[in-house]
Structure 1
Amino acid sequence: MRTCVLLFCAFVGFSSAHGQMGRSFPITRLDQDNDGELTLEEFRKIGEFVPRLQAENANAATFAGLDQNNDSAIDAREFERLFTLRRDQTRADLPFDPIAGPVAGNPLRAVLPNFADESLDEVTPAQAKFFHDRIEPVLTAKCYSCHSELSGQLRGSLRLDDKHHLRRGGASGSILDEDPADSLLVMALHGEDFSLMPPKGRLPDNVIKDFETWVSMNAPDPRESEDRPVEVELPESSIDWEGGRAHWSYQQLRPSQRIETSSDPWSTSTIDRYLYDAMKQRGLNPVADASRGQLIRRVSLDLTGLPPTPEQVERFVNDSRDDAAALNALVDRLLESPQFGEHWGRHWLDVARFAESSGKEVNIFYPFAWRYRDYVINAFNNDTPYDRFITEQLAGDLIAAKDSVQKAQSIIATGYLAIGPKSHIQRDQRQFLLDVIDEQVDAVSRGIMGMTIACARCHDHKFDAVSQKDYYALAGIFASSEALFGGARTVQVNRTTGLIELPRFVDLPVGATMTSREREFLERQLEQTEQMPATQAGRVAKIVRTATLKSKLSHYDDDGNARKLVMCTREADPIDLPVFLRGELDRPSEIVTRGFPTVIEGPELPEIHEGSGRLDLAAWLTDPNHPLTARVMVNRVWQHLFGRGLVATPDNFGTTGRLPSHPELLDYLAKSFIDQGWSVKTLIREMVSTRAYRLDSTTEAANESIDPDNVYLWKHPRKRLPAESIRDSVLHVCGTLDLEPPVGSPVLRLGEGQVRSLERFRGRAGFGMMGYAASETSTQEFPELSQSRSVYLPVLRDHIDPILDAFDFPDASLVTGERETTTVASQSLFFMNDPFAIENATHLARSLIHEFDSTQQRVEAAFETILARSPRADERKLAIGFIDQSKRTTPIRAWTLFCQSLMATAEFRSTP
């Protein structure tokens, strides 16, 4: 396969320097009738060079994607578009992109128990002689000094002095293959794609030929071995399966029919009736309704993350319709606002542990993670059905699409599995993959199912009925997939992959362009770096800088346009994993067929017959009978609107999680969510249209004594705004917020280097592609985003914007369904001293002075703008007194301090 792809690349003039196929290949090579166009039959001749294109469906899909004018023929211009595709692109079923890099053999095959197969001992006398005469002397003389038990430090975790260890391979996986051309051992001897082995000089051609012959014979090895690995017996599970399945969340939805037909004097919806029934059972009485002014601020912040303007407040308060009708009209407007997707998409990004860097030891940039962020925002704005939303993120590369843009978006969606934190410094590829798989299992199980399945990696789950077999059955699905996350291989960055490049004709944003001056600057820097003396002290710096500069250049085409590269997931060599006792790589036990947790009641457990099983996983999770997927999502939505989930542990519906406060209501909402087409907007509309949502947030002593935590929602809870809404609200009320979404991310400009490189640019005047002027906040490291919504600020693991960090921005390495909420002095100090707060307050102060003549008018306008209400009499008196006492300073300074004071209040930072 590898040879075929290389032949094809050479055939069309593949340029490894620029990552594109050259345009030297003439259409006449396929044009049999010499009419200047290719029919489908003529186009299929290309399959002779790329075996993966021989399937009729792949060629037909490719042909259709290239045929822009739909005339059932491809002319030279249309055919040329094929040359924009890279050899490392995605699956053959992509309608416009059939060319994929070869899927390598799965490195995890080397850890399967069958590497101790006794058939390995079956060596013929001729094979034994060949090994002793031609192979063993070379291993002894050239390899054992680094790759034997006595070598001291075992290089690459590869041991060659024992036949079983040799067959197992090292940090890069198995070094053998049925085809010598794909054997890592043979590739290393040739110096192809790997460092030349042995490093002191290439072996003679005839010796390399001997190794190729030996590999093609299945590497017969007559050596005796005292270190035969054996399959470790898996201890019998002690899980109480019957008791485990009795847990409420693993059972099917069971909504009550009784409540839906009951009536009461307070409720206006089915949701209200569930809540009111629970209140009355406990002797609670709901408080009065909130005012319209409170309600518009609450719903605006909850749905868009932005407060209403004074004009919007006035219109809503004076709406002649009744409260329910006026609220419904307001909700419809907010749900259709682009700001809805930006706010609610950010909620999902918490769950998806979105970030634009890897975190951990070396923390490299992920320049194309922003495409997944934009996909999520668009999905919420378009009200993509939640079942489709989940399916796209798990298996978007495997599902049908209505057009090329939707297909591209579905592929981008699979970045969900690729954007997690990674230890790129890990030398052992197998350990790296198992750690990535574990992180994916955790993200999917906690994010979508509310289960802590990753706890069963090393032993049966201590609390839930999840066995190690369940864990490795699910892990096998991700082991049979390939997450493509990029990275520039350099010192400390040992684990990297390619990226998928989508064709130019797909209508997708590309991000900032690179000017010719910027390219010349980078190329000059690269040339100077490559000419640096390779001194011992500077060698590492030279390697790192060279790799980073090449990475930046590779992200743009010759015209300066950012290439449409994406992080995503694709199919890999399918594999069933063994159970690793204690989670240790060298203790494989029983092999487990890919599958799903068996404790869950409901959908029939499908068998995975082909491929990774990601599509089967998505279908199982979105089956209407699955008891967890809908429950978990409606609970997340409820939490964001009512401050607390019906299950107070949104990422854990297991036995160590909290029991639902209103179990029948939770099941009613989950079933309604499914029945209404998995529409998140419909679900939100139903929740905010309730009487419960319209309640005031004032307390009542009798209720407080019975339910001090307001579990049963006798009042509306005040909610501290998330960090992004606090920052965005400051910009919004001060008139400096830019609602135009930026294209791309500044991280694209930084290449695939390490996050710590940002420190080098602090205090400098940034030059284009190389850096940014920086001061106290990372927002100023990326000045073009200083007035954009916070969802578009780069999220760099362990390097969070200080403004967001001050207000409890979550750890982007973890699934976070509920953020921590702290109240600390630094939050108030931020509004008093941070340049961001001062600059924006100054802008608002100038507007107040310019637009209004009297102090009283300015005070009224400041309250209405910042807090969406008029000041009380005492507040008005205090404010006027403050301004009068500030005559010693300038008017701008006085009004700036006043605006800062209002923004520093708890009222500004919370919903009413």
Structure 2
Amino acid sequence: MRLVIPFVIMVSCSALAAEPRVEFNRDIRPILAAKCYACHGPDEDKREADLRLDVRAEAVKVAVKPGQPEASELWKRITHTDPDDVMPPPSSPKQLTKIERDLIRRWIAAGAEYQNHWAFEPIKRPAVPQSDGKNPIDAFITARLRTHGLKPAPAASPATLIRRVYLDLTGLPPSPSDLAALSDWSEQKYEKIVDRLLASPNFGERWARHWLDMARYADSNGFLGDGLRPNAYLYRDWVIRAFNADLPFDQFTIDQIAGDLLQQPTTDQITATGFHRNAALNTEAGVDKEEARYQNLVDRVNTTGRVWMGLTVGCAQCHTHKYDPITIRDYYSFYAFFDNTVDRDDAKTKAQALAEADKDRRQTYVHLAGDYTRRGPDVIPASLSALPPMAKPVQPEPGRLDLAHWLVAPQHPLTSRVAVNHIWSKLFGFGFVRTPDDFGTAGESPSHPDLLDWLASEFMRNGWSRKQLIKLIVMSATYRQSSAHREDIVELDPLNCLLARQNRIRLDAEILRDSALAVSGLLKRTIGGPSFRPPLPEDVFDVGRSSNWQASPGDEIYRRSLYIITLRSVLYPTLTTFDSPDAADACVRRERSNTPLQALAMMNDSVFVEAAQALALRAIRESPHDTASRLRHLFEWTLNRSPRAEEMKRLAGFHSEQKARVEKGGAKTLDVLGNTSTFVPVPDQIEAATLVAVARVLMNLDEFINRE
């Protein structure tokens, strides 16, 4: 399913770039990769009719006659009417469209030129298009829009922009004092806000969550026993510190892949190797230990490939990759880097760490058909053969430190592109490449290839600083655009590939909960430390072995969602309802669903009910006693802007209706106050109960749940 959905998106975005001249990488390779390579691609074991279409020299032998579509077997087969001869066969779910057949015909007629896959080409620094603006990003985006007759959207309002940049950089909404910057708004004020947010410790918390998704972070082993990892949080806290300190991404990479192999590694560098200790671990009695070890190492290979290179290297575990030039020998040569790793806990901190075996080192083999019991040819550690070679190692045999340096070498075509794509996606809702874990031939081509390469080059040139890259992006006019609906791009660019406006993004699960706690005044802002247990309903424990759940004491339960304990067998339902990952695999892109269950959770989940009660109590305590002031404050605290006149009118009308209902219902209706009733003076309880209803409505508004 994952390969089908991106292709639908890819076709839509590729159509935007269509030009009279057919280009192999942009127009033809995506078609062949999605619909032909499975049977006529790199995998020699699955190749049909001895026909290979991913290599020109092979294709022109049999199927393609450059300049002569009608004489080409490829054209005859894709236009054949006989079900026994037509390709793809009628049984295939990946049929060619008329547009795709026409593109193939035009390509053959033009000479059937092939190109190397864009993602494997060296990163070059394109010239910045001429522009009146200061930010190079805007120059690239505007030039692209101009070719399609589009103009950028107007700037978002200052209030919208402040809320957007606070949520994107810290994961928390602005406070009333933060909104004071709206007076005398200027470019300089905005830049100061951005600098302050990048320097905030909350920045590390927000961006650590993005990385922890990819690191498949959890506080337990998984499987049936799901044993606790009481010190797993040490890795999480290291990630927070690394983001806050703006640890260069190349060093961030080296520390996690091979921090233990550095000369005199620091405690932090040892802790960083916990990246590959985050995976699920089968510790069940009776488990085949060698099989479990093999599966654990496979996870390390596949995760490294997905997170740093954006490649589905795992597809080559059993056979040569069907779409990309990754052989099964490549796979196990990469596997060999991890074959002699052992799991150790750091003596000083007790952090989960990775180490290299000192003795009884293993010889690595190709595991035939991905079967850990079937040994094929022996291999030594080596990088992927389709990518630039690794520098000569100091030792006779390259190790994990060589692998780490290879990943961040300037000539590596993927690492910087993939990292930039990840960061861009968090600020726009999607990346230049909408398949962030597949930069291969079956993935989507970048919507703005020149801008992606310019940013990848700039990222490395600026010392791999993520804070500098993020500032460059959020200071751009492209980021600051309004996200309002645009009729002029609906038909041309329904997915907003060209970025003629910003994107409206549903808040991540953790940020939604944190926002509710923040505006209500309940949020406890302690950074780091052991994970806490939130209150959970009893029926959560009807499955799995986890029981005797006790919520953490006092105000610990109001800490940021980043610190909620992640037990693989008992995931926190509030977060999973809003699409938080399950830590089973590296998650490089969260899904964003829209379900009735989410609306029910927002209305009835205890954390949101309690936040509404606390928000009402806050209005009683902090607002003037008149209803209009209280309603205005509730609105501003929740949505981070002043209400319009018509909104105040509707809110006042709702308040009157709810107050009448509370008064009519008597003492029973005061139950809505919950535990806050003891803090509300008796004369104010009817008003407080009414304000709880108002607060619940405001926190269920689309504007609260989304960032504009």
On whether the aligned pair clears a TM of 0.5, the verdict is: yes
Letter in 1 for 2:654: F
User: Counterpart in 2 of 1:408?
Assistant: 267
Whether the 8 Å CA contact 1:476–1:575 is kept in 2: the answer is no
Q: Assess, with a 3 A threshold, how the Cα gap between structure 1 residues 354 and 611 changes in structure 2: closer, same or farther.
A: farther
User: Counterpart in 2 of 1:189?
Assistant: none
1:791 is matched with which residue: 562, 566, 573? 562
Q: How far apart are the structure 2 equivalents of 1:662 and 1:235?
A: 34
2:669 is the counterpart of 1:882: no
Per-residue CA deviation, residues 489-536 of structure 1 (Å, 9 max, x unaligned), is xxxxxxxxxx3321xxxxxxxxxxxxxxxxxxxxxxxxxxxxxxxxxx
User: Counterpart in 1 of 2:107?
Assistant: none
Q: Assess, with a 3 A threshold, how the Cα gap between structure 1 residues 390 and 883 changes in structure 2: closer, same or farther.
A: same
2:692 is matched with which residue: 896, 899, 902? 896
Per-residue CA deviation, residues 275-303 of structure 1 (Å, 9 max, x unaligned), is 11111111211121111111100000000
Whether the 8 Å CA contact 2:504–2:707 is kept in 1: the answer is yes
2:198 is the counterpart of 1:335: yes
Q: How far apart are the structure 2 equivalents of 1:783 and 1:598?
A: 56
User: Counterpart in 1 of 2:372?
Assistant: 585
Q: How far apart are the structure 2 equivalents of 1:760 and 1:360?
A: 15
Letter in 1 for 2:353: C
Per-residue CA deviation, residues 518-577 of structure 1 (Å, 9 max, x unaligned), is xxxxxxxxxxxxxxxxxxxxxxxxxxxxxxxxxxxxxxxxxxxxxx31111001144341
User: Counterpart in 2 of 1:454?
Assistant: 314
* Equivalent runs, 1:86-101 vs 2, <5 Å: none
Q: How far apart are the structure 2 equivalents of 1:884 and 1:566?
A: 56
User: Counterpart in 1 of 2:282?
Assistant: 423
Whether the 8 Å CA contact 1:636–1:645 is kept in 2: the answer is yes
Deviation at 1:364, TM superposition (A): 1.8
2:581 is matched with which residue: 806, 810, 818? 810
User: Counterpart in 2 of 1:568?
Assistant: 353
1:396 is matched with which residue: 250, 259, 266? 259
Q: How far apart are the structure 2 equivalents of 1:241 and 1:839?
A: 58
Letter in 1 for 2:465: S
Letter in 1 for 2:347: E
2:141 is the counterpart of 1:275: yes
Per-residue CA deviation, residues 218-255 of structure 1 (Å, 9 max, x unaligned), is xxxxxxxxxxxxxxxx9889888967992111111023
* Equivalent runs, 1:12-411 vs 2, <5 Å: 246-257=116-127, 259-260=128-129, 262-264=130-132, 267-314=133-180, 316-319=181-184, 322=186, 324-400=187-263, 407-411=266-270
Q: Assess, with a 3 A threshold, how the Cα gap between structure 1 residues 746 and 898 changes in structure 2: closer, same or farther.
A: closer
Q: Tell me the SS of whatever aligns to 1:654.
A: coil
Q: How many residue pairs end up in the alignment?
A: 570
Q: How far apart are the structure 2 equivalents of 1:658 and 1:465?
A: 17
Q: Assess, with a 3 A threshold, how the Cα gap between structure 1 residues 878 and 833 changes in structure 2: closer, same or farther.
A: same
User: Counterpart in 2 of 1:842?
Assistant: 613
Q: How far apart are the structure 1 equivalents of 2:192 and 2:454?
A: 25
Q: Tell me the SS of whatever aligns to 1:483.
A: strand
Q: Tell me the SS of whatever aligns to 1:378.
A: helix
User: Counterpart in 1 of 2:24?
Assistant: none
Deviation at 1:608, TM superposition (A): 7.3
User: Counterpart in 2 of 1:906?
Assistant: 702
Q: Tell me the SS of whatever aligns to 1:648.
A: coil
Deviation at 1:343, TM superposition (A): 0.2
* Equivalent runs, 1:604-683 vs 2, <5 Å: 604=390, 606-607=392-393, 609=395, 613-683=399-469
Deviates more, 1:735-744 or 1:289-298: 735-744
Deviation at 1:607, TM superposition (A): 4.8
Whether the 8 Å CA contact 1:442–1:454 is kept in 2: the answer is yes
Deviation at 1:623, TM superposition (A): 0.4
Whether the 8 Å CA contact 2:483–2:501 is kept in 1: the answer is yes
Q: How far apart are the structure 2 equivalents of 1:295 and 1:696?
A: 9
Q: How far apart are the structure 2 equivalents of 1:759 and 1:818?
A: 29
Whether the 8 Å CA contact 2:382–2:398 is kept in 1: the answer is no
Per-residue CA deviation, residues 422-447 of structure 1 (Å, 9 max, x unaligned), is 22236322212111110000111001
Q: Assess, with a 3 A threshold, how the Cα gap between structure 1 residues 237 and 831 changes in structure 2: closer, same or farther.
A: closer
Whether the 8 Å CA contact 1:740–1:788 is kept in 2: the answer is yes
Deviation at 1:871, TM superposition (A): 1.2
Letter in 2 for 1:786: I
User: Counterpart in 1 of 2:326?
Assistant: 466
| Identical residues among aligned pairs (%) | 36
Whether the 8 Å CA contact 2:125–2:453 is kept in 1: the answer is yes
Letter in 2 for 1:850: R
User: Counterpart in 1 of 2:385?
Assistant: 598
Q: TM-score when scaled to structure 1?
A: 0.60
Deviation at 1:605, TM superposition (A): 5.0
Q: Assess, with a 3 A threshold, how the Cα gap between structure 1 residues 363 and 782 changes in structure 2: closer, same or farther.
A: farther
User: Counterpart in 2 of 1:741?
Assistant: 527
Q: Assess, with a 3 A threshold, how the Cα gap between structure 1 residues 853 and 235 changes in structure 2: closer, same or farther.
A: closer
Q: Tell me the SS of whatever aligns to 1:760.
A: coil
Unpaired runs of 5+ residues, structure 1, are: 1-233, 485-498, 503-563, 748-753, 763-771, 773-779
Q: How far apart are the structure 2 equivalents of 1:256 and 1:575?
A: 46
Letter in 1 for 2:351: V
Q: Assess, with a 3 A threshold, how the Cα gap between structure 1 residues 758 and 729 changes in structure 2: closer, same or farther.
A: farther
Q: Assess, with a 3 A threshold, how the Cα gap between structure 1 residues 871 and 758 changes in structure 2: closer, same or farther.
A: farther
Q: How far apart are the structure 2 equivalents of 1:873 and 1:818?
A: 40
Q: How far apart are the structure 2 equivalents of 1:236 and 1:268?
A: 53
Deviates more, 1:865-874 or 1:737-746: 737-746
Q: Assess, with a 3 A threshold, how the Cα gap between structure 1 residues 586 and 834 changes in structure 2: closer, same or farther.
A: closer
2:506 is matched with which residue: 720, 732, 748? 720
Larger Rg: 1
Q: How far apart are the structure 2 equivalents of 1:275 and 1:433?
A: 47
Q: How far apart are the structure 2 equivalents of 1:295 and 1:434?
A: 49
Q: TM-score when scaled to structure 2?
A: 0.77
Whether the 8 Å CA contact 1:480–1:611 is kept in 2: the answer is no
2:489 is the counterpart of 1:703: yes
User: Counterpart in 1 of 2:343?
Assistant: 483
Q: How far apart are the structure 2 equivalents of 1:438 and 1:240?
A: 29
* Equivalent runs, 1:755-834 vs 2, <5 Å: 759-762=546-549, 772=550, 780=551, 785-834=556-605
Unpaired runs of 5+ residues, structure 2, are: 1-42, 57-113, 534-540, 663-685
Per-residue CA deviation, residues 427-474 of structure 1 (Å, 9 max, x unaligned), is 322212111110000111001110111111111111111011111101
Deviation at 1:811, TM superposition (A): 2.2
Q: How far apart are the structure 2 equivalents of 1:395 and 1:869?
A: 47
Whether the 8 Å CA contact 1:249–1:628 is kept in 2: the answer is yes
User: Counterpart in 1 of 2:300?
Assistant: 440
* Equivalent runs, 1:538-549 vs 2, <5 Å: none
